[in-house]
Amino acid sequence: MLSNNVFCVIGGDLRQLYCAQAIANDGYTVCASCFEECSVKFSFEEPDVRKAIRKSDTIILPLPVTKDGITLNTPFGKGSIILDDTFARVCSGKKVFCGMKERLLSTSPLWNTSLVFDYSKREEFAVMNAVPTSEGAIECAMREFAGTINGSRCLVAGYGRIGRVLSSMLKGIGADVSVSARKKSDMAFIRAAGMTPLNIEELSCLPQSLAQFDLIFNTVPFMIFDSHTLARIVPASANTIIIDLASLPGGVDFEACERLGIHAMRALSLPGRVAPKTAGEIIKNAVYNITEEDLR
């Protein structure tokens, strides 16, 4: 257990509230601010932000910490919190955790008087979030696809963190899973996992049309499914559904999809939306891990 820690969680969506809850469950003192408009209520809310910060030594800010570069990201807050020298000064000398740290640092030079950490840059944070992202993708596929995932033919484009977790879950439900990758060693891992590896470069000139797939999940943040590649889907039954999980600008040409009559959709920010409790625990873990490493 981390000694002498009093936490406060300021702003953000449901994830941050669950993060605070998880910290409280671990036996720490915690308070949360800027959740006035949230329908879910917790006992540890502290309406006064300054007071919340003052009595804490560890401040947890949201991901992203700010959307407009000026105010704190507080979707459930009644007013808005300006990120300026004053705010930085209140946090001075404390450990401050946030997502997309560089945005916070550019709001005031005084942040150099605090220890500012970015939990969103941690490798294990990304891996852990691959779990709710994959489940969100599956939930989305279940909702949109008129068949069952079991017995369906799925293509997962990319074998990074999300590709690894998602393909394994799809197989676990009983889908027939192909995974496209670039590295030969990844293709060996894919085959060892009982799935069919496809060379990502040959995807646009596959002997078998992409239309053989019921569901295509893209995880690669490059324009892989451009109009040229998409055109390979159309000749056939055109029932293929494409779900793009890659961060913006994504890897699917949505205009071409519409023109070609292909059913495609974006699924972004899934962890916070489909599993805020898990997403909050993931933030908590990253904060703990950073704290432990920092202590050594």
**DSSP string across 172-226:** HHT-EEEEEESSHHHHHHHHHTT-EEEEGGGGGG-SS-GGG-SEEEE--SS--B-
- Does 211 interact with a second copy (rule: CB under 8 A)? no
CB of 70 to a second copy, least distance (A): 31
Helix, coil or strand: residue 264: strand
Among 187, 220, 241, 252, binds a second copy (CB under 8 A): 187
Helix, coil or strand: residue 263: strand
Among 13, 46, 135, 244, binds a second copy (CB under 8 A): 135
Cα 162 versus chain centre, distance: 10
Q: Which of residues 241-260 bind a second copy (CB under 8 A)?
A: none
Name every residue whose Cβ is closer than 8 Å to that of residue 184 and which is 6 or more positions away in sequence.
none
- Does 45 interact with a second copy (rule: CB under 8 A)? no
Name every residue whose Cβ is closer than 8 Å to that of residue 233 and which is 6 or more positions away in sequence.
209, 210, 211, 240, 260, 262
Please identify, among the stretches 47-55, 68-76, 137-145, 242-250, the one whose residues bind a second copy according to the rule CB under 8 A: 137-145
| Amino acid type, 250 | G
- Does 296 interact with a second copy (rule: CB under 8 A)? no
CB of 25 to a second copy, least distance (A): 9
For residues 62 to 101, the per-residue mask of contacts with a second copy, x marking binding by CB under 8 A and - elsewhere, is: ----------------------------------------
Structure tokens at 194: 């009982």
Binding site for a second copy (CB under 8 A): 14, 18, 122-124, 126-128, 130-132, 134-136, 138-139, 142-143, 145-151, 164-165, 168-169, 171-176, 183-185, 187-189, 191-194, 274-278, 281, 289
